[in-house]
Amino acid sequence: MALVEKIPSYSYSLEKENDCVLKATLNYSPYVYSKYDFLQRLLFVSSGNSGGTNAIPFSQLDRESLEFFHAQLIEKGGKPPKLPDETPKDTTEAWVRMGSKAVAHVGVYPEAQRKLTDIFNFESRQHVLVNENLKTHSEITTQPVSFDSLPQATLEKALEEFTKAGGAVDKDFVLRGAIQLKKNKSSL
């Protein structure tokens, strides 16, 4: 049972503040005002007595209540972004081709609350890591790192997976940074 279902509907009122924010007011003293901001993924709570406001990340709220208030905002004409998917239960790892120039190794690790995506761009010869917190859905992306700084075995594995997925690149350029120049025959 969602937390919101324990509160009778006559005890609160709901109002669309904008497409992404739903304001909920408890109708008994002390008045409590809540704003569910689905864009920032934060609940802002203030009391009529205190004047202060607390910001609570959605990751700390119960899923059922979030889904209820999300649906209420849509019913009132709001257009909030979709709620993030629930945290996966199983560890998974997969290689994914990203267009004609890159491949990514995507690992989902629920016990660590992390999704790690290693992206290998064969055109720029750079690697980045995207580290996503599965609970808050916040991401941290590393600065691009040259392939020259990575272990050869890592590059070979990424290149192998890219090729298996139908990608084609100059292997010498990827592994050694050597560009093969065409030699023009000239008559002297």
Q: How many other β-carbons are positioned within 10 Å of the β-carbon of residue 52?
A: 8
Q: Which one-letter DSSP state was computed for residue 143?
A: P
Q: 65-74, 121-130, 178-187: lowest mean pLDDT where?
A: 178-187
**Using CA atoms, how far apart are residues 26 and 173, in angstroms rounded to an integer?**
64
* pTM of the predicted protein model: 0.59
Rounded to the nearest integer, the mean pLDDT of the chain is: 85
Residue 130 has pLDDT above 80, yes or no: yes
Backbone angles phi, psi at 30, to 5 degrees: -75, 140
What is the C-alpha to C-alpha distance for residues 125 and 32, in angstroms, rounded to an integer? 54
User: In percent, how much of the chain has pLDDT > 70?
Assistant: 84
| Residue in 81, 121, 125 with CA at minimum distance from that of residue 103 | 121
| DSSP bridge partners of 81 | none
- Rounded-to-integer distance, Cα 126 and Cα 144, Å: 6
Model confidence at 178, in pLDDT bands (50, 70, 90)? low
Query: Rounded distance, CA 57 to CA 66, Å?
Result: 11
DSSP 76: T
Q: What is the pLDDT of residue 176?
A: 86
How do residues 13-67 score in pLDDT, each as one tens digit?
A: 889 999 999 998 877 666 778 899 999 888 988 876 666 678 888 877 888 888 9
Which are the contacts of 69, defined by CB distance < 8 A and separation ≥ 6?
A: 4, 14, 22, 24, 36
- CA-based angle 101:130:120, to the nearest 5? 25
- And the tokens for 146? 């040259």
